[in-house]
């Protein structure tokens, strides 16, 4: 992958992303829900593969009743690529206030198109995924998938 590690998320963030996406097949969607109902569910979608790696969309959504009907509003929605090396690089983010593309995937790698914004996006993804892990959204799903064998 044609990126420096500075352009990808930290290893601990990559580990959480790997757990969140491990059970997905291409073109599938999974929602990691908070059993207590306190936190928004984490929507994880495997969009497919390109030359740079596997593309994933991760998001929290809330329902808006504004306008002509109900709609899902991203808060946030992040597009990431997972390289064959295991590196995770965010490409774009969308929030209720706007969106920005900071990098492009294809042609065998990732090309950053907005360097300052990309560094901020990497930091935002790391903080967000740390909060997701604290909320146990990914672990809650894993615990159901792997029942405790100690009895």
Average pLDDT per consecutive 10 residues, the chain (151 residues; last block may be shorter): 66 94 93 79 93 94 75 90 94 94 88 94 95 74 45 36
Q: What is the pLDDT of residue 139?
A: 60
Query: In a 10 Å sphere around its CB, with 0-12 CB exposed, 13-18 middle and 19+ buried, how is residue 19 labelled?
Result: middle
5 backbone φψ class: left, alpha, beta (φ>0; ψ -120 to 50): alpha
- CA dist., res. 40 & res. 46, Å (int): 19
φ, ψ for residue 100, nearest 5 deg: -150, 135
Q: What is the pLDDT of residue 81?
A: 97
Q: Is the peptide bond before 59 cis (omega within 30 degrees of 0)?
A: no
29 backbone φψ class: left, alpha, beta (φ>0; ψ -120 to 50): beta
Question: Other CB atoms closer than 10 Å to residue 62's CB: what's the count?
Answer: 11
- CA dist., res. 47 & res. 61, Å (int): 18
- CA dist., res. 8 & res. 17, Å (int): 12
Q: What is the pLDDT of residue 65?
A: 74
Q: What is the pLDDT of residue 36?
A: 75
């Amino acid at each position: 992958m044609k990126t420096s590690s500075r352009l990808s998320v930290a290893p601990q963030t990559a580990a959480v992303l790997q757990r969140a996406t491990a059970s997905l097949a291409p073109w599938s969607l999974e929602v990691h829900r908070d059993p207590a109902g306190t936190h928004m569910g984490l929507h994880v979608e495997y969009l497919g593969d390109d030359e740079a790696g596997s593309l994933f969309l991760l998001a929290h959504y809330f329902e808006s009743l504004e306008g002509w009907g109900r709609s899902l509003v991203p808060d946030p929605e992040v597009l990431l690529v997972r390289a064959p090396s295991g590196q995770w690089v965010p490409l774009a983010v969308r929030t209720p206030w706007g969106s920005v593309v900071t990098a492009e995937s294809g042609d065998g790698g990732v090309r950053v198109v907005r360097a300052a914004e990309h560094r901020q996006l990497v930091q935002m993804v790391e903080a967000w995924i740390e909060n997701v892990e604290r909320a146990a959204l990914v672990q809650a799903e894993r615990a159901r998938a792997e029942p405790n064998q100690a009895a």
